[in-house]
Amino acid sequence: MPVDYADREKSYELYRNGKREGTWDPDDYDLTQDREDWSQFSTAEQHRFLATCAGFYDGEEDVTRTLAPYMMALDALPNDEMPFDTVQEEMYLAQQVYEEAKHTDFFSRYFAEVFGTQDTAQYREDGYQEQGYSTEDLYDTADELLAAVNSGDRTELVYALGEAYLNYMGIVEAQLARAGYLSFDQMIELKADEMGREVVLESFQTAVGHIRQDETRHIENGRWVMRKLADAEPDIVQDVYEPRIEEYVENRLLAETDYEQPFDGYDQQRIAEQLTKYLQDTIDYIGADRFERYADVSSALEERAAAD
């Protein structure tokens, strides 16, 4: 089906932006200074920083391997019955798979050439990683999408696709990855202050800046599709979106972290407050009036805290 260039939707515009902004190459960075900077981190600081990097490295690979079923599900939808052009969205996701592979490429190189290891397991199994919503769950999401495609049931397919977009673009990227970026920001800034430097790990920061830019487009596209799926099946908000958000809030936003923080001055509360805002942004984009308990995230969290 050809693209209707007279009606280029949000996904196509983001695809165009990606062609302009997504041309960076992980091989272009000189990591010599980053290796020297890394040697100045204490063992405890390295361990903490690697815990966050390990989550990104594994997550980028998991997503690269599990996005294809999203396109298959879109292709199985009756395009003329949907409130958006599934072809344009498939084009966007094809670009996103490439970007996720490039993110995997960067972390693979950085682990090898700066960290000196490709082993992420030891950093993800030592208490640094919070419980719930691992990117490993995306493999189950992919299987559920394929099952919905094979079912031939339109509502089941829309529900499965909505849950997939919420799990990945709405939570993994819009919440967990952004928490990681905010953590990087604090750890690097605190280390630079300690060393009396304006910047440390400069190539890492530059590359991660490109990854953040890529994922900003992913998040915006995901929110837009979730809203369109709610237009197609309004009950998806109460049946799928709100229960999954409740699970995320329970497992992440309300969970207490029990690891030691070696970076003096690190402010976890500041990150939690920003994550609350990000979640509200997602709900507002879909339409806060469609939600019951989480139309106002701050109020819902206060209510939960008072009940506990």
Number of domains in the chain: 1
Q: What single-letter amino acid sits at 2?
A: P
What pLDDT digit, counting tens, does each position of 192-219 carry? 999 999 999 999 999 999 999 999 999 9
| pLDDT computed for residue 131 by the predictor | 43
Tell me the mean pLDDT in the region 13-41. Answer: 97
pLDDT at 258 over 80: no
What pLDDT digit, counting tens, does each position of 106-127 carry? 999 999 999 999 999 888 755 4
What pLDDT digit, counting tens, does each position of 122-158 carry? 887 554 444 445 688 899 999 999 999 999 999 999 9
Q: Is residue 159 part of a domain?
A: yes
DSSP string covering 166-231, please? Answer: IIIIIIIIIIIIHHHHHHHHHHHHHHHHHHT-S-SSHHHHHHHHHHHHHHHHHHHHHHHHHHHHHH
Map residue 164 onto helix, strand or coil: helix
Q: Is residue 141 part of a domain?
A: yes
Contacts of 148 (CB under 8 A, 6+ apart): 73, 156, 157, 159, 160, 161
- The better pLDDT of the pair 1, 145 is held by 145
End-to-end CA distance of the chain: 53
The CATH number covering residue 103 comes to: 1.10.620.20
Structure tokens at 142: 């992919």
Query: Has this prediction a pTM greater than 0.75?
Result: yes
| pLDDT computed for residue 125 by the predictor | 54
Q: Is residue 18 part of a domain?
A: no
pLDDT at 30 over 80: yes
CB atoms within 10 A of CB 307: 6
Q: Is residue 21 part of a domain?
A: no
> Domain of 159?
35-114+132-256+264-307
Q: Is residue 149 part of a domain?
A: yes
Q: Is residue 11 part of a domain?
A: no
Q: Is residue 22 part of a domain?
A: no
CA distances from 205 to 103, 209, 211 (A): 13, 6, 10
Q: Is residue 63 part of a domain?
A: yes
